[in-house]
Structure 1
Amino acid sequence: MSTVRSALVVTAHPDDVDFGAAGTVAVWTSAGIEVSYCVCTSGEASGDGSPEMAAVRESEQRAAAAEVGVHDVTFLGYPDGMVTPSLELRRDITRVIRRVRPDRVLTWSPEINWDFVPTTHPDHRAVGEAAFAAVYPDARNPYAHRALLLEEGWQPWAVRELWLADGPADKRNHAVDVTDVFDRKMAALRSHASQAGATSDGIEQALRQGLGSTAARFGLLDGRLAESFQVVDTSR
């Protein structure tokens, strides 16, 4: 990781990163990597459905981000539950990539995880597809979304690595040992009081079981916990 200076995590909703990758983010920030979040919706189609829910969930996500060392959080404001991999979303993610200039982008897989359908939300897959297109080719192509360069001044940027979360298990080729930062992952999750506050103990038990199985599958020692990803080389 010594050659990676910055990373960007692109998700559909507040709390997606904390369930799927907050341990990995904590490992990165502990190693000195500057991590930013781009959250495409504000998660307003959840909780009590009140008009204040978007603001509540944005506040919770910022608090959760701070628990794992992240202080740059961008919300794009797309409607929760109705995200599509549109040119507009690709443009907006491209803008964030060109601003952050990350070596690494982590987002959700555009493929279905048939082993655990509850996490395969259509918004997740749409954001993954749009983020993949933003990484390649949009962010590096000066002629893609021309106004970003000509009117806003955002210079092209080539991301070296794309990390995909929650894809099909047989395509995951990399695991991150998160045992030593699991308490920080849980602190981030508990920040989402509107979603997980009353059930955090059950969530912790389920995560320990799932992450323990992942660690065993990748050959880590007994008792370790790991998050897994499909890592794609996008440097070429």
Structure 2
Amino acid sequence: MGERVLLIGVYGMELVECGGALAANVAAGGESFATLMLCRERMRADVRKAAGVLGVQEPDFLGFRNGYVAVDEEHKRALVRVIRTVRPSIVITQDPEHSLADLDPDRRPAMTLILEALGLASREFAADDGLEPHPVPTIYYMTPSRPNCVVNIAPHWEQKCSAMDMLESQMEFSGRHWSEALAPGDAEALVPGFAEIGSDLERGRAVHRALDRAVHIYHGIGHHGHYTFAEAYRREGDFHLPTLVR
């Protein structure tokens, strides 16, 4: 049975990075939602296309300013409103440990803001918004430093890859970056025929496909797991089980 799953992301690509779990939830009869704090105007059309591939509801773009994310009333109200409107049973968001050392701007204040909003959504904060408080749901941290569970995404692997392909502005940026950052021999080892690929867009797609495949195999069958491709997560708090499970 599916859940109401809400991704609270900082940047647009996070929607695809946990796209396997979001797609699996939809396939199980649930609804998957996404709200993104910082997403460039050009990127938004790409993210909408990716969401359509994954079966995610129309993404909500909060329009925060790069470099100015703050743990203040305005930003808290915006996130609390999303949580109370969607009323998720599960929230997926960035990993606090990983975001602490991440040099992407805004990740550190964004993480504190997200945790504050999750706590405040069930309390009397911003009661004048006209929405009923919503209790803190189950939280999963994506791409964690220390995962404690994985999700089978093998049935949704090609769906996830197709969604990543939709992020054309990101793929172009990645293609330029890796063309400059990788030695020719290293690029060729990663993607055979890399030098012959004719555009930054296709170079970015090819490298992302190779990297994503490696990462998801590593967390799946590469760890002697039950799944060929798996997304790694860390669930906040203990697992509460009526009986032991395999």
TM-score range, shorter chain: 0.7 to 0.9
After superposition, the Cα gap between the structure-2 partners of 1:69 and 1:156, relative to the gap in structure 1 and judged at 3 Å, is same
Residue matched to 1:89: 75
Verify: 1:123 aligned to 2:106, yes or no: yes
Which AA in structure 2 matches 1:140?
S
Q: Percent identity?
A: 22
| C-alpha deviation, 1:130, in angstroms | 1.6
Query: Which structure's relative contact order is higher, taking Cα pairs within 8 Å and 6+ residues apart?
Result: 1
Whole-angstrom distance in 2 between the partners of 1:103 and 1:88:
24
Partner of 2:157: 182
> How far apart are residue 62 of structure 1 and its match?
0.8
- One-letter amino acid of the counterpart of residue 218, structure 2: S
Q: 2:205 aligns with which of 200, 212, 215?
A: 200
Q: Which of structures 1 and 2 has the bigger CA Rg?
A: 2
Q: Deviations over 1:165-207 (max 9, x none)?
A: 13322xx111001112111111111111111133111111111
Report 1:141-152 matches (<5 A): 141=123, 143-148=124-129
> 2:141 aligned to 137, 157, 164, which one?
164
Q: TM-score, normalized by length of structure 2? A: 0.77
Aligned with 1:74 (options 41, 50, 60): 60
TM value normalised by structure 1: 0.80
User: How many angstroms apart in 2 are the aligned matches of 1:234 and 1:220?
Assistant: 21
Unaligned 5+ residue runs, structure 2?
A: 172-200, 241-246
Question: CA separation in 2, counterparts of 1:179 and 1:120?
Answer: 31
After superposing on structure 2, the runs of 4+ consecutive aligned residues of structure 1 that deviate more than 3 Å are 84-87, 216-219, 233-236
What is the RMSD computed on CA atoms of the aligned residues? 2.4
Aligned residues: 210
Shift of 1:69: 0.3
For 1:224, the aligned partner's letter is: T
User: Which residue identity is paired with 1:112?
Assistant: H
Does the aligned pair in 2 maintain the 1:36–1:70 contact within 8 Å?
yes
Cα distance change of structure 1 residues 23 and 174 upon mapping to structure 2, 3 Å threshold: same
Question: Comparing both structures, which one devotes a greater share of its residues to helix?
Answer: 2
Question: Who is 2:29 aligned against?
Answer: 32
Contact residue 89 and residue 138 of structure 2 kept, 8 A: yes
Structure 1 unmatched ranges of 5 or more = 45-53
Aligned to 2:44: 58
Match of 2:86 among 100, 106, 113: 100
Residue in 2 that maps onto 1:16: 14
- SS in structure 2 opposite 1:200? helix
